[in-house]
Structures are given as C-alpha cells and as structure tokens.
Structure 1
Amino acid sequence: MQPKSSSARSPQAELLADATALHAAVSDLVRIYQFRDRDKICCYDISVTQCYALEALAGRGPMRSQALAELLLLDKSTTTRVVDALERKGYVERRADAADARALSLQITRKGRTLYETINRELIAQQAEIVAGFDREACAMATEVIRRLARAAEARFVSGISVGDCAPGTGCSPRRRD
C-alpha cells in the first residue's frame, strides 16, 4: 500500500473546489442573464421585476398581493409599487377576490398577457439559439441541475439562511430581494 501523495486532496478540499467553481459559473450566468433580461425586457417599458409579476399572474392566474409578494420573494411595499406601476400601464387590474369580496385579487389584463407573451417568446428564441449546439440529453441534464440549484437556493432564502452580517445568530433579518 502506497502512502497518499501530497498532491491528493481531501474530500472536504475537493468539495470546496467544486463549490468554488460552481459559485463562479452560477455568478457569471446570473450576471449575464440579469443584463440580458434587463436590456430585453426594459425596452418594453417595464422592469424585470414587473415582468416576473406578469409571468406569475399569467402562469398561476389571479392572486392576492401577499401571495404575489411571497412568490416573488418581495416585501409588501415593493410588491405594491410593482403592481401600481403595472396597473397604471394597463397590464394588471385589481378586482374583488372570488373567495372573499372584501379582499382584492390581482389579474393580468389582455394587454399585460400580450406583452408578457411577446417578451417570453423573444427570450425563448434566445434560449433556442444558445442550446442549439447541445445534444438533447445534455440540455435536459443542464435544465435539471439548474432547477435543483434554484429549489435549493430558494429553500435557503425562505428559511432565512444568509451570509455576512445577516448570518444566523447575528440578530440581523435577511433582506428580501427587490
């Protein structure tokens, strides 16, 4: 039996190296997509966050403001500003909630759905260009990995796990993304 060479890394060191590489790759991807989305979506006179709200309402149907805030991981006041802007532009309307007439429900308008579908169609066309050179299995595997990373990141966010000054035990409440 030969002793381990000094170049062999421990499982912990390998995990940290993999995590470092993953962090760099995800950071690059998120940064690029944020700029791409901002540049593509904002040319339609809505913000990326407003587009996320339209997407939620288009995909899930009418919902109360609190449900939208939770879905988008926004605080109530930010959600109100997002919805107010969308309502002023005619993309969303507030209606009496079907389950409770005292409450208001948010609903995407025909104009809002048309806008969302236009933006979504353009973004999907860009994705088609990106994955055109991938074989279907590699594309499916990449999609699954990204979905799993998103679910894990959301679970950590929702549970309040953070870094830096908002780390557990510091007494700081994590900020929600705006």
Structure 2
Amino acid sequence: MAIENEQQHDSPGAWAKRYHLANRAAIEAILRPYDLGSTQWYVLHRLSHDGPTMQRDLTRALQVERATLSAIVATLVRKGLIEQSPHSVDQRQRVLELTPAGRDLWDGLPDPIALTQAVSFSGVDADELATTVRVLRAATRRLTESLSDES
C-alpha cells in the first residue's frame, strides 16, 4: 500500500497539480503589490488584447463560474480599472472594457506568466519543454473528451 501511495504522489498528475499550485502562488506574489489577483490579471489581459468583450465570453474563456466572474468584475469596476455597460443590442448582456486607469495600470504591470516561466523552466532544454507541453496537452484533451463522452 505504501508503494502504491508513493507512486500516486509521484505521478504526472500529482506533479502537474504541484506545479499549478506553486505557479499560482508565484503569480499571486508578483501581482500582490498591484492589488490584483491572478483572475483579475487575466480579465485585464483579455480586455487589453481583445478590446471590449462580452462578460459571458470571459466566463467561457477564463473557465470560471459566472458568479466568480461577476465578483471579480465588480471589484475591477470598483477599482476604476474596467467599465461595465449594457450591450447595444441585448441590454441584459454586459460589455467590459478597460478604463484609462486600467490601461495605465496594465501598461505598467510585469508579465507574471513570463516571469514564472523564466524561473520554472530556466535551464530546461527546449525539446524537453516541447515534449512536456505536447504530453500535457494530449492528456488534457483526452480527459476533457472522456468527460464530454460521459455527459
């Protein structure tokens, strides 16, 4: 039993989870001085790169619950970083966009993704990294498809 338990904790899934948690903690530490959380950063990232965006589209893109995104949007609106306005055609839908203050903050933010990747993959061979990405991408796709098949 001890060997089986040891193998589970040294599995690719266990290491993927450990990496995810460590990476998220590093991103949070990078963003803390700017009073931003990681999901807030991802919202600003999307709005910065995509321009005005329907709130419901961000729910799907960021893979968060609608209530979670609503709370994050409310916080970003309160901070004056984004605006939320009714869609011109469907007044029930909300469109989000950066405010000038949000754009200024965004332009001064470090890229936490680039910083964490530079640390975590320093010295890793490019071929090994490409293999890691390929394996995790395929494993994620297979799991996602198997979950869809069960629905």
Structure 1 residue ranges (4+ consecutive) displaced by more than 6 angstroms after TM superposition: 17-20
Overall identity of the aligned pairs, in %: 23
**Where does structure 1 lack aligned partners over 5 or more consecutive residues?**
1-16, 162-167, 169-178
1:68 is matched with 58
Instruction: Provide the TM-score with structure 1 as the length reference.
Output: 0.63
Classify the secondary structure of the residue corresponding to 2:11. helix
Counterpart amino acid of residue 134 in structure 1: V
Instruction: Specify which of 20, 30, 51 is matched with residue 20 of structure 2.
Output: 30
1:43 is matched with 33
**Where does structure 2 lack aligned partners over 5 or more consecutive residues?**
1-6
Q: How many residues align?
A: 145
Matches within 5 A, 1:1-178: 21-97=11-87, 100=89, 102=91, 103-116=93-106, 118-152=108-142, 155=144, 159=148
Counterpart amino acid of residue 45 in structure 1: D
Counterpart amino acid of residue 57 in structure 1: L
Counterpart amino acid of residue 109 in structure 1: T
Kept after mapping to 1: 8 A contact 2:87/2:94: yes
Q: Which has the higher contact order (CA 8 A, sep 6+)?
A: 2
Counterpart amino acid of residue 36 in structure 2: I
Counterpart amino acid of residue 143 in structure 1: V
Instruction: Provide the TM-score with structure 2 as the length reference.
Output: 0.72
Kept after mapping to 2: 8 A contact 1:42/1:48: no
Greater percentage in helix: 2
Counterpart amino acid of residue 59 in structure 1: H
